[in-house]
Amino acid sequence: MINKMITDTINEIQKHGDFKADIALVLGSGLGNFVESLSQTSRLSFSDIPGFPVSTVEGHSGQLVHGFLGDVPVLVNSGRVHFYEGYTLEQVVYPIQILQALGAKTIILTNAAGSIRKDYTPGDLMLITRFLNLTGHSVYSHQPEPEQVFDPHILEIVQQIANKKDIPLKLGSYAGLNGPSYETPAEIRFLRLKKADAVGMSTVHEAMAAFQAGIQVLGISCLTNYAAGILDQPLNHAEVMETGQRVREDFAKLLTALVQSLSR
């Protein structure tokens, strides 16, 4: 059952245009530019949507956008909130519930992440095949977390699209931590032992909430930097933002092809 808070949020959103679509995207740090690939956009600031959590982090512009990728309608959450900002888990995943209430049957979650492997270089896109929820919190409170939230069939389709369009795409496991500090080199060595390929501070809760709600969910990381200790140099937030801009083109190509294919 859709609760009153969701109904109020949806009613307010619908006053501003026809925000409905089967496919939705959530854009992570530095990836907000993707909305420029859309046509006929309607935009609504998260801060103007009652009940919607608003991010305080640089690189998250915080808008709900409706538009078209080619002829396919999509909903885009440009920006997200993180647990480390002081929001509850319910607030972190509220935008996923709203996307579902606006019609989303498939949600593509994107993020910026640090690479834990030397052969996955900054600027690579990585399809998340599984994740480690290392945040110590979960929407699956007192229940086992699902073994696999990303449907193997969809993972296969994404790889085929990337191959066909000649878009380099790595595959890997994403370790979700709370942040907001970047990890120590020792923590990254630990994650490597645990077979993680990338590390970040988002996505795991949204992915599980979407799965729990029966939404088909996909995760794509944009590897913006080598994680701490992989190279002999410190990392900084500016580097994360800058690399996000560089992979913009491949990212837009992949998402466009993916959305076209999912809409068929």
Q: What is the binding site for ligand HPA (CB under 6 A)?
A: 112-114, 182-183, 199-201, 224-225, 227, 235, 240
Please state, in angstroms and rounded to a whole number, the distance separating the CA atoms of residues 262 and 111. 20
Alpha-carbon distances, residue 239 vs 61, 225, 235 (angstroms): 18, 7, 7
Q: Which amino acid, one-letter code, is at 74?
A: V
When the beta carbons of 1 and 238 are compared against ligand HPA, the nearer one is 238
**Residue closest to ligand HPA when measured from CB atoms:** 114
Query: How many whole angstroms separate alpha carbon 89 and alpha carbon 138?
Result: 8
Closest CA to 60 of 101, 32, 36: 32
Indicate the residue among 149 and 201 with the shorter CB distance to ligand HPA.
201
Q: Smallest distance, Å, CB 65 to ligand HPA?
A: 23
Q: Which is nearer to ligand HPA, 120 or 150 (CB)?
A: 120
**Cα 166 from Cα 156, distance rounded (Å):** 15
Q: Is 167 exposed, middle or buried (0-12, 13-18, 19+ CB in 10 A)?
A: middle
Q: Select 31 or 35, whichever has its Cβ closest to ligand HPA.
A: 31
Q: From the CB of 225, what's the least distance to ligand HPA, in Å?
A: 5
For ligand HPA, give the closer residue by CB, 75 or 223.
223
> From CA 189, how far away is CA 218, in angstroms rounded?
27
Q: Which residue shows structure tokens 């498939």?
A: 106
CB 128, min distance to ligand HPA, A: 13
In the complex, the smallest distance separating the C-beta of residue 251 from ligand HPA, rounded to whole angstroms, is 14
- Considering the complex, what minimum distance in angstroms separates the CB of residue 244 from ligand HPA? 9
Q: Are strands 170-176 and 125-133 parallel, antiparallel or unpaired?
A: parallel
- By C-beta, is 52 or 182 nearer to ligand HPA? 182
Question: Taking Cα atoms as reference points, which of 131, 98, 100, 102 lies closest to residue 207?
Answer: 131
Taking the complex as a whole, the smallest distance from the CB of residue 227 to ligand HPA amounts, in Å, to 4
Neighbours of 162 (CB within 10 A): 21
State the minimum distance, in angstroms, from the CB of residue 113 to ligand HPA.
5
Phi, psi of 131 (to 5 degrees): -140, 160
- The nearer residue to ligand HPA, 67 or 114, going by C-beta atoms, is 114
